[in-house]
Structure 1
Amino acid sequence: MLKFYLANATRPRRIALGVFAAAITLCAVPRMQAADKQSDEETLQKANLVLSGMLAGDTIPADVLARTKCVVVVPGMKKFGVGIGGSGGRGPMLCREGDDFKGKWSTPAMMTIGGASIGVQLGGSSTDLVLLVMEKKVVNQILSGKTKMGTDATAAAGPSGATAGGAADADVYSYGRAKGMFAGVSISGATVSPDNDANNRLYTDNPDASSIVRGTSVKPTPAGQKLVTLLDNKTAAKAKSSAGKPK
């Protein structure tokens, strides 16, 4: 419709209409960016609910969490394709501060994950996923670029309950929930990489994933702070419990 008016308008009128169209476009950009950032915040909120459920139900043992370097939470990972298929989703990654990864939990950086058949394994088209990164070298790999589970890092279904002590060593442990059921799941073949677009929307100034989770200058958003507080409280409770046990 605008093209019709421009084609049939006088030159002054065409100029006025062009300015009007440009103004509409410029006004629309902030609203589009705000909507995208709101979606990112909602992903952080959903991730908090997923992780709260797994920690409250001891699906993820406190002993295992205490040894974890970083946590990745992907709420509502969607299944696609036919046959074996695959899955894709995104969510936050948080790491413990310090060279020894024993400090408080960091500001979350957004990540993407794809290529795994998680939904098929748990019998659902949408699966909540939590990854525990146990090795420093794998943390560096993930923050630097795309990391494939089973190729660039060893991955295993996460231990729970009484099996935690005898779990096989792995670089990454994974847990899933579909249709209300929690379980350790295999994610061999899945790829994990930083979501740079989402991180720029959340924090501006285009920070990379490493500066978000390994630095201290990028501060969490309100939804991200809830995740930080959840993990800080859980690890603090475990530390207090361990300190009270006789040696």
Structure 2
Amino acid sequence: MKKFSVIVSGIALLASSMSAFAAGDKAKIAGRLQDAGTVISQIMSAPDKGIPGEILAGASCVVVIPSFKKGAFIVGAQYGQGAATCRTPRGWSAPVLVQLEGGSFGFQAGGQATDLVLIAMNDQGLQAMLKNKFKIGADAAASAGPVGRNAQAGTDWKLNAEFLTYSRSKGLFAGIDLDGTVLSQNQDDTRTLYGDNVPFETILKGQHPTPPEGEPFVRTVAKYFVRAKESH
């Protein structure tokens, strides 16, 4: 009986440790989602340095990868984590947790933190997003996005680009070439946030409720990425 009691106690301790570990992971994910929303807010609050209204109005999906630090990357590789949401008939979807890896982003040398924003602009970009993994420039065309809320977005992206890509470093916000990078679902973090490995497509199509940890990010995207009918 004593041996059985020890075993039960051990199992209970292990379960408690696993629960605490999961809670810690969820807190980190919540922080990342908060950071992603902050990136959007700060970009859009800069005088005439935000994303043009035509792009805000037409965006199908938004991906934010906050605070890359080049100095922390393995030699020859770069990696970052963030969140994505897509426009649905019922508003913006719950966030999916994503990772972006590979390629050379042309970051400044050293440990400079860089934020990345990717915007899907048409149905082809949306369809690429609904896959759980795709390569920018190969599976989906991308162009460096124009900057300035009152700027004309131009026509090149309308004809050729599924995605518009941006970076922000030391307060400078500009388009960037992300060809060769791979965007994919972070399945481990998805499982932690949602309690199950919910498919990428299910979340981005708005078929899963937004968890509390993701609500601030989704609200921030919805605030800025409006259809802006008055601008057309």
Normalization by structure 1: what TM-score?
A: 0.80
Higher helix share: 1
Residue identity in the other structure for 1:145: N
Distance 1:143 1:197, change over 3 A: farther
**Counterpart of 1:111?**
98
Instruction: Give the Å deviation of 1:14.
Output: 5.3
Residue identity in the other structure for 2:101: G
**Counterpart of 2:221?**
231
Residue identity in the other structure for 2:122: E
What is the CA–CA distance in structure 2 between the aligned matches of 1:210 and 1:95, rounded to whole Å?
10
**Counterpart of 1:52?**
41
**Counterpart of 1:134?**
121
State the structure with bigger RCO (CA 8 A, min sep 6), 1 or 2.
2
Structure 1 regions of 5+ residues with no counterpart? Answer: 1-11
* 1:174-189 pair list within 5 angstroms: 174-189=165-180
Instruction: Give the Å deviation of 1:60.
Output: 1.4
**Counterpart of 1:32?**
21
Distance 1:215 1:116, change over 3 A: same
Residue identity in the other structure for 1:121: F
What is the CA–CA distance in structure 2 between the aligned matches of 1:232 and 1:163, rounded to whole Å?
22
Instruction: Give the Å deviation of 1:48.
Output: 0.5
Instruction: Give the Å deviation of 1:94.
Output: 0.7
**Counterpart of 1:7?**
none
**Counterpart of 1:8?**
none
What is the CA–CA distance in structure 2 between the aligned matches of 1:136 and 1:215, rounded to whole Å?
16
> Contact 1:88 / 1:116 at 8 angstroms: preserved in 2?
no
> Contact 2:96 / 2:190 at 8 angstroms: preserved in 1?
yes
Instruction: Give the Å deviation of 1:28.
Output: 0.6
What is the CA–CA distance in structure 2 between the aligned matches of 1:151 and 1:189, rounded to whole Å?
7
* Largest Rg, 1 or 2: 1
Instruction: Give the Å deviation of 1:136.
Output: 1.9
> Contact 1:124 / 1:179 at 8 angstroms: preserved in 2?
no
Counting aligned pairs with the same residue, the percent is 34
CA deviations on 1:51-108 (whole Å, 9 max, x unpaired) are: 11122224311211211110000111243244xx33211111111103xxxx621111
Distance 1:204 1:16, change over 3 A: closer
Distance 1:237 1:139, change over 3 A: closer
Normalization by structure 2: what TM-score?
A: 0.85
Matched, 1:88 2:79: yes
Distance 1:228 1:145, change over 3 A: closer
Q: Secondary structure at the match of 2:164?
A: strand
Root mean square deviation, CA, Å:
2.3
What is the CA–CA distance in structure 1 between the aligned matches of 2:135 and 2:227, rounded to whole Å?
33
Q: Secondary structure at the match of 1:89?
A: strand
**Counterpart of 1:5?**
none
Matched, 1:154 2:144: no
